[in-house]
Amino acid sequence: MEISAVNQMKELVKKLNEAAKAYYQEDREIMSNREYDDLYDQLESMEAETGIVLADSPTVNVGYEAVDALPKETHESPMLSLDKTKDRETLRAFIGTHPSLLSWKMDGLTIVLTYDHGELVKAVTRGNGIVGEVITNNARTFKNIPLKIAYQGRLVLRGEAIITYSDFEKINEEIEDVDAKYKNPRNLCSGSVRQLNNEITAKRNVRFYAFSLVKAEGVDFSNSREEQFRFLKQQGFDVVEYVRVSADTIMAAIEGYEKKIVDYDIPSDGLVLLYDDIEYGRSLGRTAKFPRDSIAFKWADEIRETTLKEIEWSPSRTGLINPVAIFEPVELEGTTVSRASVHNISIMHALKLGIGDKITVYKANMIIPQIAENLTGSDNVEIPAVCPVCGGATQIRAINDVQSLYCINPDCVAKKIKSFSLFVSRDAMNIDGLSEATLEKFIAKGFIHEYSDIFHLSDHKAEIVEMEGFGEKSYQNLMNSIEQARNVTLPKLIYSLGIANIGLANAKMLCKEYDDDGTKLRKATAE
């Protein structure tokens, strides 16, 4: 089968989905009904001809369902980690005289897919390499995997589930509470893939990139890994981007990837080098931990020396006060950085941070600024005895041997603002017009002390319409939004309360357990 036919189908799916989204969600028309029907018929015809159906094709509807738990399953063959190096010469020596493939090492969640008679029958996470979790229903909602393929034998392949940086940023933009934002695409992807309700997975735009063919009975690949990649592309899979290299071309290839990663949309934490010769690779066997036919290359971090100017203490809605290092600005990986989270007091003490210390900083995975080392180690940072926002007492608490600082004042304004921000956010009560700045003003004026006060802001109409940034129209828009929020689903209400460890997914699971009945939920025992 020609790869060009698969690419044409992917382009048709993309066009049709864009047209449907514009028509049904955005009230605009980017193509006529006749053009849409013609393209739809063309796609349907190509699916019948090739035997391939992509997961996001408009010709199929993936059903949504929730499960109580993800079943576990032992892998047919153990999934080993790769040996790693940061030395480029080690890669050249590894190749020797054997042509190899150099590809991205993607930073997501490794998944094993199994197809029988052309149908996707199973998807399992890597887990601990021996036992993984079965996530078949979730995999069916991945944006780009084929649900049906032309090959009718048993096919087993491995790949990485990822969420792109652009999708990660869009998802985080919709979360107004800073504390609830996701830390990085890998964590978001891992949580999305392992959801108990695949409707949530579907909304996260998870994508799958194949990087290894494990089994395809009866197919001759001419002893070449590259031929296996071509076969997977012919079946409709997106394959990890790779280049063919030799000992003479490996350095130039690495430099090419190095330039590309600056604005590459797929999270990557390095490269993978793999022998093209399948039998030669297998003949090398493996160690207890690593296969000998491949090796991972991790980027050597760009490290800069700078001076620590201060530690800023940043409170959250839970009362946790995070230390943030402020240092003389330095250029790292093409951007200027001047601050890095220290995460907790244990890490701050381990680094022996002191104001004026010479420190080295880098970007973890070329993205997140971190302190690498403290060259001075004066260890003179004073831990604040009072909260920087409310002036209330602070307390150091040790949880799982990690020390963190907390504000213990229940009436701390920072806690209130962050809590109210979560309460009114889009995934919670969805009240437009109450930004953090507005909430801060309303709290300062005494309009809001608890959640219920938001529904009585009309009592303060005269003062609100006179406030800067408000007027009659802004006030009315706010009142309309508050009125709409009186009708809300139970999961959103539970999520809005900011209970520790209860995100929207867990809130939905709790409510489902108690038949979406608030009274049953309130009367439930601790067990």
DSSP codes of every residue in 360-376: EEEEETTTEEEEEEESS
What residue ranges in 94-174 does DSSP mark as E strands? 100-106, 109-116, 119-125, 131-133, 146-148, 155-162
How many C-beta atoms lie closer than 10 Å to residue 209's C-beta? 21
Q: Would you state the pLDDT for residue 426? A: 84
Q: Cβ–Cβ contacts within 10 Å for residue 122, how many?
A: 15
- Give CA–CA dist 276/99, Å, rounded: 6
Q: One-letter amino acid identity for 327?
A: F
pTM: 0.64
Helices (H), 311-354: 345-351
Task: Report the C-alpha gap between 416 and 419 in whole angstroms.
Answer: 5
Helix (H, G, I), strand (E, B) or coil at 515: coil
What is the distance between the alpha carbons of residues 347 and 327, in angstroms, rounded to a whole number? 17
Q: What is the pLDDT of residue 386?
A: 92
Pairing mode of beta strands 294-297, 84-85:
parallel
Residue closest to 81 by CA, chosen among 61, 65, 105? 105
Residue 104 near residue 266, CB atoms below 8 Å: yes
Question: Residue 213: enclosing H or E segment and its boundaries?
Answer: strand 207-216
Average pLDDT of adjacent 10-residue blocks, the chain of 527 residues? 83 88 68 81 90 88 71 86 89 96 95 96 91 93 93 96 92 70 84 88 93 94 97 96 96 93 89 96 87 89 90 84 93 84 90 94 77 92 90 88 88 80 88 84 82 92 86 89 92 88 82 88 85
Strand ranges of the sheet holding 109-116, from the earlier edge strand across to the other edge: 53-54, 146-148, 119-125, 109-116, 155-162, 207-216
Catalytic residue among 10, 72, 105, 233: 105
- C-alpha–C-alpha distance, residues 483 and 501, integer Å: 28
- Provide the 8-state DSSP code for 234: H
Query: Of the candidates 125, 136, 119, 141, which has an alpha carbon nearest to the alpha carbon of residue 64?
Result: 141
Residue 469: its pLDDT value, please? 78
3-state DSSP helix/strand/coil percent for the chain, to nearest 5? 35, 25, 40
Q: How many residues does the chain have?
A: 527
Identify whether 105 is a catalytic site residue: yes
Q: How far apart are CA 304 and CA 325, in angstroms?
A: 15
Residue 160 burial (CB count, 10 A) = 24
Sign of the alpha-carbon torsion through 219, 222, 228, 230: negative
What one-letter code names the amino acid at 102? L
In the three-class reduction of DSSP (H, G, I as helix; E, B as strand; rest coil), residue 421 is classed as helix
Per-residue pLDDT at 293: 95
Burial class (CB in 10 A: 0-12, 13-18, 19+), 422: buried
Q: How far apart are CA 190 and CA 203, in angstroms?
A: 14
Residue 118: in which H helix or E strand, if any? none
Spatial CB neighbours of 5, under 8 Å, sequence gap ≥ 6:
46, 50
**Lookup: tokens for 91:** 């890669």
Can you tell me which residue has the tokens 């449907």? Answer: 20
Q: Taking a C-beta distance cutoff of 8 angstroms, is the pair 163, 185 a contact?
A: yes
- Burial of residue 175 (CB within 10 Å: 0-12, 13-18, 19+) is middle
